[in-house]
A and B are shown apart, each in its own frame.
Chain A
Amino acid sequence: MKTLDFRFWGLLPAHVIMLLTLIVPIGIIIMVSFATRGSYGGFEFEFSTASYQKLLFNEGWSGETEFNPQYIFIIVRTLFLALVTTLICMVAAFPVAYLIAQQNARTKAILIYLVTLPFWVSMIVRVYAWLIILGNDGVIETTLVATGLVQGIDSLLFNNWAMLIGMVYSYIPLMILPVFASIEKLDSALIEASHDLFGSRLKTMQKIILPLSWPGLAAGSILVFVPCLGAVLEPILLGGGKTMLMGNLIQNQFGGARNWPLGAAIAIVLMSLVMIILMINGLRSEARERKEAI
Chain B
Amino acid sequence: MSEKIDVRRYPGFRLYTFVFFIYLYLPIAVVIFYSFNDNRLVSVWGGFSLRWYKSALANENLLSAVKTSLMVATFATVVATTVALMAAIVLVRMKNVKFRKVSQTVVNLPLLLPEIVLSVAVLILFSQIGLSNGLMKLMIAHSTFCIPFAFLPIRARMQGMEMDFEEASQDLYAGKWTTFRKVTLPMILPGVFAGGMLAFVISMDDFITSNMLNSGGATTLPVYIFGLIRQGVTPELNAISALIILVSVAIVSAVGLILSRSGNGFGSD
Contacts and interface: CB of A to CB of B under 8 A. Distances in A.
Nearest to A102: B8
A267 B117 contact: yes
B34 A29 contact: no
A195 interface: yes
A98 B208 CA distance: 34
B86 interface: yes
A92 interface: yes
B86 A29 contact: no
Interface in B22-78: 23-28, 30-31, 34, 41-44
Interface residues of A, number: 86
B106 A14 contact: yes
Contacts, number: 246
B116 A230 contact: yes
B27 A126 contact: yes
A26 B229 contact: no
B10 A254 contact: no
B189 interface: no
A78 to B, nearest CB: 11
B71 to A, nearest CB: 18
A81 interface: no
Contacts of B82: 13
A96 B1 CA distance: 31
B229 A18 contact: no
A135 interface: yes
Main secondary structure, interface of A, reads helix
Contacts of B114: 226-227, 229-230, 247, 270-271, 274
Contact of A139 (B7, B9, B30, B237): B30
Contacts of B21: 114
B124 A260 contact: yes
B125 A24 contact: yes
Interface stretch (A2-10, A52-60, A64-72, A211-219): A2-10
Given A2-B176, A109-B269, A128 B237 contact: yes
Main secondary structure, interface of B, reads helix
A8 B112 CA distance: 24
A122 B242 CA distance: 10
B249 A117 contact: yes
A42 B176 CA distance: 51
Given A11-B86, A232-B208, A122 B121 contact: no
Contacts of A17: 83, 143-144, 147
A14 B222 contact: no
A250 interface: yes
Contacts of A118: 24-25, 28
21 contacts: A6-B89, A10-B94, A11-B87, A15-B103, A15-B106, A17-B83, A21-B122, A22-B110, A22-B118, A28-B121, A113-B256, A115-B24, A117-B253, A129-B30, A129-B31, A132-B34, A169-B24, A226-B114, A232-B211, A247-B116, A270-B114
Interface of A: 2-3, 6-7, 9-11, 13-15, 17-18, 21-26, 28-29, 32, 42, 92, 95-96, 98-100, 102, 105, 109, 112-118, 120-126, 128-133, 135, 137-139, 141-142, 169, 172, 188, 191-192, 195, 201, 204-205, 226-227, 229-230, 232-233, 237, 246-247, 250-251, 254, 260, 263-264, 267, 270-271, 274, 278
Given A117-B249, A123-B207, A233-B207, 9 more contacts: A10-B90, A11-B86, A125-B225, A137-B42, A139-B43, A192-B7, A226-B114, A227-B115, A271-B114
Interface of B: 7-10, 12-14, 16-17, 20-21, 23-28, 30-31, 34, 41-44, 82-84, 86-87, 89-91, 94, 96-98, 103, 106-107, 109-110, 112-118, 120-125, 127-128, 140-141, 143-144, 147, 176, 201, 204-205, 207-208, 211-212, 222, 225-226, 229, 233, 237-238, 241, 244-245, 248-249, 251-253, 256, 260, 267-269
